[in-house]
Structure 1
Amino acid sequence: MKFKTKHIKHLYKKVFLVLFCISVSSCTEQYVFQSNTFESILVVQANITNELKTQEIKITRSYRLEEYGPPTEEGVNVYVTEDGSKSYEFEFEKATGLYVSKAPFQAVPEKSYQLHFTTKEGKSYSSSIETLTPVNEINVEPKIETIDGEKGVQIRVTSFDPSAKSLFYRYEYDETYKIVAPDWKPNKLIVAPFTTNGFPDFIVVPREEETRVCFTTKKSDNLILVNTTDLSEDRIDLPIRFIGIAEPILNERYSIIVRQYVQNLESYTYYSTLKKLSTSESIFSQVQPGFNYGNLKSDDNADEKIVGYFEVSSVSSKRIFFNFRDIFVADPYPPYYIPCVPEELQNCWDAGPGCRGPKILSIVKAPKTAGAYYGRFDDIFVFVPSPCGDCTSFSSNIRPLFWID
């Protein structure tokens, strides 16, 4: 299970926009943004859990406003200590840009953990000492609800800690849905190795790869935080994902896995502050909270800024599957992603208005998004929009290992 970084990356970028604004003498006048006051700051995303797995840590640097994304900090010596003695070493994985533990391990109760790392320049950093939070199991259920007049399925997460020790929670989810191309055909059109009357011709051949059934996975991209400190019970009943009945992702089979991280007060406060900074109506508002310090520090320079948090948290997860008819017994199925209207093209090369040989050639030679072969009637070829006949034009034909039909 890969460490989730997409939503944190966007949040950190917005935080730096806030900090940049603070550094400008006045935010009430027009200002052409330039990175003249750019400060390179380490950004660390680290969450060690109670799952027995190869743990992952991401170390990057802040980036300029005009840059696309954060540069990965390579050549870092990373390790996590347990009770100040046992050490778990990490190594850089080029393909993912993550530091991955050399051996699987898990955080266990009544032991302490601390992150240490040294950059290739020899600068040393460490975190505060953290312990594992309580474990609180979750349940995930789909329920029919109507929101703002729209009927749909609400994914609800519930949990209960009778000891009332959990209190602070962070959630994330991955959703995966099956796609079946409605106008898929077992054959495709290719350019023939010969010509007819000096013009290109075409032949129909069997498809060599799966293009009918695909799977798309998307990850939650926002921080979902909940606390129960103001409630009489440490009980969660959270609507985490609403899907309208007309959404095509429900057309076939849908799956979602929800993860609940139990946080301590400090980590919850850090992520709450990060969320407030990133969701402000305007980064030019009167609220100027300053730098969001976490539990990481430089061992060499107490004044050096570093962004991020080393979290040791218990995680509980639950995956569910359902088909459209499992939820909606009598409602009509959602429409497909796009209208699937066939187009007939005559295979000839004369200058007349009915000849479409050049267009057929452009479709066959173009990427998959140009169109999908649907059938043939004498010298007429029929095409449909690519998603209608070839799901790989917008999704993946790789079946997830966890998928159950």
Structure 2
Amino acid sequence: MKKLYFNKITPLLLLIFITAGCTEQYVIQTNTFEEALVVEATITNELKKQQIKISKTYRFEENGPTFESGVEVFITDDTGNKFEFEEQSDIYISKLEFKAVPDRKYQLHIITNDGRSYTSSTEILPTENKIESIIPTVETIEGQRGVQINVNSYDPSRTSKYYRYEYEETYKIIAPRWVYQKAVVTGPQEVSIVPRTEEAHTCYGTKNSNDIILTNTAGSNEDRVHFPVRFISNQDYIITHRYSILVRQYVQSLAAHTYYKTLKKISASGSILSPTQPGFFYGNLRSEDNPNEKIIGFFEVSSVSSKRMFFNYADLFPREHLPPYYTECEQIPLRFCFGPSESCRGDDIIDYINSNTLVLYYRDYLTNVYYLFPTPCGDCSSFSSNIKPLFWEN
């Protein structure tokens, strides 16, 4: 599970959502803070080592959730198979690769290091529905012109219906004030200009979606999805050169969809004084020892399909000016000398270079003036990766 949505709600005052069924309305009841386990668990029909995250709720004034260590985690199915998980770097990963298969019932089991035991309801794998295409189109939305990225899929059996999306976007970055040389401090009052040996001109940034993205076709005549999964302003620097997005489409059960829909609603609430602002609600996990004990989370079994696409800015906005760089690139001229004169800025130049705050663009040897820029303007590796991804297509 890549996205840790539950962290958005746990710093707030706890409220209890009790559901009598997936189609019932949630009944909200205000409560004071109580510590509870938070479980993030989705297994899919992909053959891989599946992952489960277990943490605790935390107060608003605390820094963040605490990973629950020393937990025994395993999944069983109705044919007697047992899939064990082991703790690795603040997450639980299955010891062996496995995948969810149709017509089999799965159940999550958790035993904490103090002996408390929890189980989920049994869940089955929904119908798989593959992404047919991802299409970028130029649109104007709420007065903003940009790129709308639409996901298309179709299930002729009409059994999928409920969908959740995640995406990973990767984009090419070109430092606008890059030069093939750089300045390095070689003495107390000495700077040398040397050739660059590392890639600093062309880099790649990557971001993951951080929202709960849902849609459904339950009210439609057919199970056909044409869904806007991402909108990017034409002034956003991430599409300046070349952009790629990998979209993952999860087919959900009605219960899972209802849970995530509620989670999305409450995590988007803007005020802690809102009557719909929670920090807790029940999913499909329960304590084996104490039916009144609270546990947050949902054990989801989901079929998933993924697809990647690329586009260049010039493909969609031909002959238009490129978006502005993500930061201001104002040239800063400083004279390299030392002494009482206010025009001598040698000490400042050395400090800027040592701290990697500014980088050299040009040195005027006649006046001994260094023309500098903020480091991201001349060295993209200062904030992104200078290694081309293996999947990248030029």
**TM-score (ref. length: structure 1):** 0.89
Which stretch shows the higher mean deviation, 315-324 or 391-400?
A: 391-400
Contact 1:22 1:290 in 2 (8 A): no
Counterparts of 1:180-259 in structure 2, within 5 Å, are 180-193=174-187, 200-259=189-248
1:283–1:191 distance in 2 versus 1, CA, 3 Å:
closer
1:402 Cα deviation after fit: 2.3
1:156 and 2:143 aligned: no
Which stretch shows the higher mean deviation, 266-275 or 395-404?
A: 395-404
1:57 and 2:58 aligned: no
Unaligned runs of 5+ in 1: 25-36
Determine the C-alpha separation between the residues in 1 that align with 2:58 and 2:256: 24
1:229–1:12 distance in 2 versus 1, CA, 3 Å:
farther
1:364 Cα deviation after fit: 1.4
Unaligned runs of 5+ in 2: 18-27
Contact 1:273 1:292 in 2 (8 A): no
Q: Which residue of 1 aligns with 2:172?
A: 178
Determine the C-alpha separation between the residues in 2 that align with 1:288 and 1:12: 11
1:376 and 2:363 aligned: yes
Q: Which residue of 2 aligns with 1:76?
A: 71
Counterpart of 2:314 in 1: which secondary structure?
A: helix
Counterparts of 1:37-116 in structure 2, within 5 Å, are 37-94=32-89, 97-116=90-109
1:149 Cα deviation after fit: 3.1
- AA partner of residue 73 (structure 1): E
Determine the C-alpha separation between the residues in 1 that align with 2:87 and 2:192: 49
**TM-score (ref. length: structure 2):** 0.91
- AA partner of residue 51 (structure 2): E
Counterpart of 1:373 in 2: which secondary structure?
A: strand
1:290 Cα deviation after fit: 9.2
1:127 Cα deviation after fit: 0.8
Q: Which residue of 1 aligns with 2:20?
A: none
Q: Which residue of 2 aligns with 1:365?
A: 354
Q: Which residue of 2 aligns with 1:401?
A: 390
1:328 and 2:317 aligned: yes
1:316 Cα deviation after fit: 0.9
1:394–1:289 distance in 2 versus 1, CA, 3 Å:
closer
Determine the C-alpha separation between the residues in 1 that align with 2:200 and 2:16: 47
**Which of 120, 130, 133 is equivalent to 1:127?**
120
1:303–1:148 distance in 2 versus 1, CA, 3 Å:
closer
Q: Which residue of 2 aligns with 1:7?
A: 5
- State the identity as a percent: 50
1:18 Cα deviation after fit: 4.8
Deviations 1:331-359 (A, max 9, x none): 22212223323222111112112211111
1:9–1:401 distance in 2 versus 1, CA, 3 Å:
farther
The count of corresponding residues between Structure 1 and Structure 2 is: 381
Deviations 1:295-349 (A, max 9, x none): 1111111111110000000011111111111222222221222332322211111
1:356 and 2:354 aligned: no
Contact 2:269 2:277 in 1 (8 A): no
Contact 1:124 1:300 in 2 (8 A): yes
Contact 2:44 2:301 in 1 (8 A): yes
1:68 Cα deviation after fit: 1.3
1:289–1:373 distance in 2 versus 1, CA, 3 Å:
closer
- AA partner of residue 7 (structure 1): Y
Counterpart of 1:80 in 2: which secondary structure?
A: strand
Contact 2:107 2:122 in 1 (8 A): yes
- AA partner of residue 201 (structure 1): E
Counterpart of 2:244 in 1: which secondary structure?
A: strand
1:276 Cα deviation after fit: 2.0
Determine the C-alpha separation between the residues in 2 that align with 1:166 and 1:312: 13
- AA partner of residue 81 (structure 2): K
Determine the C-alpha separation between the residues in 2 that align with 1:403 and 1:133: 32
